[in-house]
Structure 1
Amino acid sequence: MAGRCGKIVNDLARNSVARDQKMPLFRGVVALFQAKKVIMSASINRREFTALLAALGIVLPLGSARAAARLGSAVPFSFEGLVEAARQKAARPYAPPQTRAADVLERIDYDNHWKIQFRPDHTLELGGGKAPIRFFHLGRYFKDPVGINVIEGDRSRPVLYGPDYFDMPKDSPARALPEDIGFAGFRVMEEGAEKDWLAFLGAAYFRSSGELDQFGMSARAVAIDVALPTPEEFPRFTDFWFAPSETGTLTIYMAMDGPSITGALRMDCDRSKGVVMDISARYFMRKDIARLGLGALTSMFWYDQSNARSGKDWRPEIHDSDGLAIWTGAGERLWRPLNNPPSVMTSSFVDRDVRGFGLMQRDRSFENYQDDGVFYEKRSSVWIEPKGGWGDGTVQLVEIPTDDEIHDNIVAYWVPLTPAKAGDAVAIDYKVHWLADEPHPPAVARTVSTRVGMGGVPGQPRPKGVVKFVVDFEGGVLGDLTVKDGVLAVVEASQGRISGVYTLPVVGTKRWRAFFDFTAEGVAPVEMRMFLKNETATLTETWLYQYHPGRLVAVD
């Protein structure tokens, strides 16, 4: 369900842009005309005037925020207060949301949901128009409302829901909902409100179109008990507060709640290059958590050139991300191509004070996807950059089998060495980069492709059970070297036999290609490791691979 909901978020965000551009402006004109008539016929003060405009869907500028939405009464607000509220809530039993009008919301399926159009004249604007905010309607997949608030100094005011925020078809099930039902989430538009670049909808997920302006994978506050025998838990953002950023475009505060955890987060969003989120997160445990994943990322990988046999579609490759990149605390750069495994696989990369990790989309060639509808070559890479030392722990990669692109089947996150226990508090600070590439690329060459085929030599009888791996590297000084420079491939495997290792430059490019044959011993997954070097230096990042014997090519 989580993967399907993630794809629905993308579609809803994409469809909403086209809808909003068709919205007529006459409602705003009518409202202003009505306000003018009342003002001319009565003597009212500023507070009464503001209340009148709010009743008509018009709100005067309030400090640094201007809203065409109705706002409620002001209450004190601070991040410290939000953190303390999360701490106190964690000491109480979890109270799940009481879904109102659930039968009606169940009837608002995907088709009915996208027909509900947000009215652009109710857009909430912050920071002098830098961050117009529009809201999502509730529906079958998002039944529980979230609180929406605007910060003014040390106080905040709630945005008051009304059905007039949306245009609905006459036969829409949404017309039967209570008039104070609330919002499902929100999206942040570009200046001018032509299209969105950030969306929060469902559980504790969020996503951005990033540097290349194409929604794809998502991030979430935490991942709880992923790929364990017990059910995965999905805490949810319950409330949001917006303020103009002092350093970026928009600051968002969030309250999070779930059966095992509560939280308070501050996110400062900067759009000067791609999208960078500077996050301060404070979590409090209600219960013991077997596997607490921090800085969690969720993506989709079906197939690429390495496992194309598992893809049944006409397109050459289908994936939001093609690899996991890690910058270890010791400074080593790792690249692990993603898999579509035969069963759920969890890979752990032990580290101390990891410098960064991310799910990346390195293949940027349209020719390798041939999809001009969803543009996989433009999907954002997302990099987690810890601030301060995160101590001992592991970067974990979870790969789940899939047979279609509608499922988010890849998860990556950081797991602290010390398990989270009831009553614990966890404070982390980090940045999330939504970019075309890593924000701190390595000085050495990087992996650019991984291919697999029959082992042996073309034109000669092929040995049974042998698979050939072909890995291309590019970057650093590698492109300036020749066969006289002694470039060697260092290859290791957890089991089996490696043979036929050699390297050569790829004619007409600055790439080098490494070859080796592999013969498995048994059917257990094989962990592989390779890098290129010469007599003076390591020339590439370390290529890692998890090979499932018999899965990629016919070897008998």
Structure 2
Amino acid sequence: MPQRSRLSPRLLSFWISPVLRRVVLRQGMAAGLASLGLSSRPSLAGQVTQPTSFDVETLEEMARTLASLPYVPPSQQLPETLAGLDYERYGKIRFLPDHALWHGRGERFEAEFFHRGYLFKDRVAINEIVNGISHPIRYNPAWFDLGDISPPEDDIGLAGFRILARFPGASPRDRKEIAVFLGASYFRAVAPGQNFGLSARGLALGSGENGTEEFPVFREFWLERPQQDADHLVIYALLDSPSLTGAFRFVLRSDVETVMDVDSVLFPRRDIANIGIAPLTSMFWFDPSYRVGVDDYRQAVHDSDGLLIHTGAGETIWRSLADPAQVQLSSFADHSPRGFGLMQRQRGFDAYEDIGARYDLRPSAWVEPDEDWGEGAVHLAELPTGTEFQDNIVAFWRPTAPLRVGQQYRYAYRLRWCDDISAHTLARVVAFRAGASADPKRRFFMLDLAGGDLRADEKMLDAMAPPASPRQLAAMLVPEVICSAGQLKWAEIKRIPAYPVASMHGMRRSGVALYRVGFELEPGDASLVDLTVRVRRGGKVVSETWMYRWTAKDHPRP
């Protein structure tokens, strides 16, 4: 059984990535970069540089050259006053907003920087691009309120940055934080009105699998100065790890949603079979479907409650998440996927009752490939957590063919940070619950569906007098339940008339009829059962395909 993946504790702003060490380039690196006209003083070495021309081709050539040289583990040199900081003291360091990049220039966007220290010891080079010229951004202790910490005498560099945006109608000083790049290759974002939750990464290598997970790191960033009132911001990043390098370009926009158009070019140092493209990292602890051993006043605690997939064949899959007793790895084979994401579908406050964490305001993250990704699979890793302070969910795309050393690979996609997506007309799963059956050998499952193609039935059913009988409904709608092991004992679908409760299942509106599918599973001797449910009308699928994994360790037999 795979060992637990080394996912990061969710401290500070709900996650902390494993910190990788800063690179100190060897003499051979300097020679390789000299061929690019960058001499031996490239900013990717963490050294002070002079302004130099820069564009995406320059970045790709830097990544290609870096991949041809041996990987050098990063250094984490810092004064002890910073390296020895604990969580509380590091958290007191504040960036002073008046020193933000582009502050006072009238641009819509500003950038604030994170200080190095505590877990964030990596020195990350950050540059500003102005009219095609890259200018290094040098550390200045005057930018920070360090409290009782003595300011370092040397230029110690920076750890990362956050992006703030001013929205139409807001005052010049009223900017909202919309994105953060901090730690390894982690980044995250929110749409207006949301709270930070799940994260994304540049790449994943070996997530949830046997052996040690490798965490690539963004060594260097370039922030392109936006034009006044520009609606987008361009960010470049150089990624490095023992296994590969990469050139990344992000085009960031924020309106109703926050959208990142990501273009990446990868250069393997070795053949790689366990890569994860467009990885998402989240947390799921419990919800009403299963909370054995949870003593908590809240009804649910999670940043995401499901994995949504739009397959290349047109199927829509909703995979409910779990906090398993041991690592669970699932894969969903596909060709040319249309999209996948970790979603926070429950949006009612009463689904969580947490006035502090406000899980109802956490974003969903949706990946839309910008090209044909070919054969592969969406992978899902679910890890045991038992707490809300530990990320335990990872989802990513893995191509069937391994990446080969000496080749280059381009992956482009759109990453949407949003409440939800509405890209199909199928009925959606709005609630899922499970529990003990009257027969101790069985397990009862129940899921509610609403909207989409089922709305066509609502008007007809509402007009029927007397109301439709179970037999009439069964003649119209048929639940299809598939069990990979064990026995399905029975399955049925019932209609629940429209409820006047505005926030039922977080749907925030009244007058929504629900269709409830119930069934019982007798697992027998099976230790693991994958469940699949969809609803058909006249042979046509009218609902999402719901999937879930039952395990004996999560539901001990009496």
Aligned position for 1:527: 530
2:556 matches 1:540:
no
C-alpha distance in 1 between matches for 2:120 and 2:128 = 22
Does 2:203 correspond to 1:222?
yes
Please name the residue that 2:412 is paired with: 429
Aligned partners of 1:5, 1:144: CA distance in 2, in Å? 17
Contact 1:72 1:160 in 2 (8 A): no
CA distance in 2, matches of 1:284, 1:193: 41
Which amino acid counterpart does residue 532 of structure 1 have in structure 2?
A: V
Alignment partner, residue 194 of structure 2 = 213
The structural deviation recorded for 1:443 is 0.6
**Is the counterpart of residue 479 in structure 1 residue 461 in structure 2?**
no
In structure 2, the partner of 1:38 is: none
Partner residue in 1 for 2:287: 304
509-518 vs 328-337, greater mean Cα deviation: 509-518
CA contact (8 A) 1:449 1:471 kept: yes
Q: C-alpha distance in 2, partners of 1:243/1:193?
A: 22
Query: Any conservation in 2 of the 1:211–1:434 contact (CA below 8 Å)?
Result: no
Q: TM-score of the superposition, structure 2-length normalised? A: 0.84
2:518 maps to 515
1:135 aligns with 2:113: yes
2:66 pairs with one of 89, 110, 125: 89
Question: 1:109 and 1:140 mapped to 2: Cα distance?
Answer: 6
Is the partner of 1:309 in helix, strand or coil?
coil
Q: Is the 8 A contact 1:451 1:470 kept in 2?
A: yes
Structure 1 vs Structure 2 CA RMSD: 2.0
Preserved CA contact (<8 Å) 1:497 1:520: yes
Which ranges in structure 2 are unaligned for 5 or more consecutive residues? 17-47, 167-172, 462-467, 499-511
**DSSP-derived class of the 2:350 partner:** helix
Contact in 2 for aligned 1:3/1:406 (Cα 8 Å): no
Q: Distance in 1 between matches of 2:362 and 2:142?
A: 35
Greater mean deviation of Cα atoms: 90-99 or 410-419: 90-99
Residue 479 of structure 1 aligns to a residue whose secondary structure is helix
Aligned partner letter, 2:127: N
3-state SS of paired residue (1:346): strand
Counterpart AA for 2:51: A
1:507 is matched by which residue type in structure 2?
Answer: P
Contact kept, 8 Å, 1:151 with 1:242, in 2: the verdict is: yes
Deviations along 1:415-463, whole A, 9 cap, x unmatched? 000112332321110000000002x4311101111111222xxxxxx22
Cα contact 1:212–1:379 (8 A) shared by 2: no
Question: Letter of the aligned partner of 2:207 in structure 1?
Answer: V
1:536 CA displacement:
5.6
Q: Which amino acid aligns with 2:185?
A: A
Moved more, 467-476 or 285-294: 285-294
- Cα distance in 1, alignment partners of residues 6 and 128 from structure 2: 29
Quick check: 125-134 or 3-12, which moved more?
A: 3-12
Any gaps of 5 or more consecutive residues in structure 1? Answer: 13-70, 456-461
Aligned with 1:293: secondary structure? strand
What is the CA-CA distance between 1:177 and the residue it aligns to? 3.3
Q: Does 1:505 align with 2:487?
A: no
1:76 to 53, 58, 66: 53
Q: Please, which moves more after superposition, 530-539 or 297-306?
A: 530-539
Which 10-residue stretch deviates more, 532-541 or 215-224?
Answer: 532-541
SS state at 1:510 partner:
strand
Q: Quick one: which of 336, 344, 350 aligns to 2:327?
A: 344
Cross-structure match for 1:185? 160
Alignment of 1:381-420 (within 5 A): 381-420=364-403
* Residues 146 and 550 of structure 1: CA distance in aligned 2, closer, same or farther (over 3 Å): closer
CA contact (8 A) 1:245 1:269 kept: no
Is the CA contact 2:15–2:389 (under 8 Å) kept in the aligned structure 1? no
The Cα shift of 1:480 comes to 4.2
Inter-CA distance 6–75: structure 2 relative to 1 (3 Å threshold): farther
Q: Which residue of 2 aligns with 1:204?
A: 185
Counterpart-to-counterpart distance in 1, 2:174 and 2:50: 27
Aligned partners of 1:502 and 1:72: how far apart in 2? 69
Paired AA for residue 120 in structure 1? P
Q: Quickly say closer, same or farther: Cα 1:320–1:242, change in 2 above 3 A.
A: same
**Structure 1 residue 366: deviation in Å?**
0.9
Aligned mates of 1:446, 1:521 — CA distance in 2: 30
CA contact (8 A) 1:350 1:393 kept: yes
Structure 1's 352 and 142: CA in aligned 2 closer, same or farther, altered over 3 A? same
Shift of 1:499: 1.7
Report whether the alignment pairs 1:454 with 2:458. no
CA–CA distance in 2 between the matches of 1:551 and 1:516?
19
Query: How many residues align structurally?
Result: 487
CA distance in 1, matches of 2:528, 2:83: 43
The corresponding residue for 1:35 is none
| Local SS of the residue matching 1:129 | coil
Within 1, Cα distance between the matches of 2:174 and 2:271?
44
| 1:465 corresponds to 2:455 | no
Question: TM-score w.r.t. structure 1 length?
Answer: 0.84
Residue identity matched to 2:424: P
User: For the structure 1 residues 291 and 245, does the alpha-carbon distance in structure 2 shift closer, same or farther, using more than 3 Å as the test?
Assistant: farther
| 1:3 positional shift | 4.4
Partner of 2:122: 144
TM-aligned CA deviation for residue 105 of structure 1: 3.0
Structure 2 counterpart of 1:443: 425
CA contact (8 A) 2:192 2:255 kept: no
Contact 2:130 2:225 in 1 (8 A): no
Report how far residue 103 of structure 1 moved: 3.6
Q: More helix per residue: 1 or 2?
A: 1
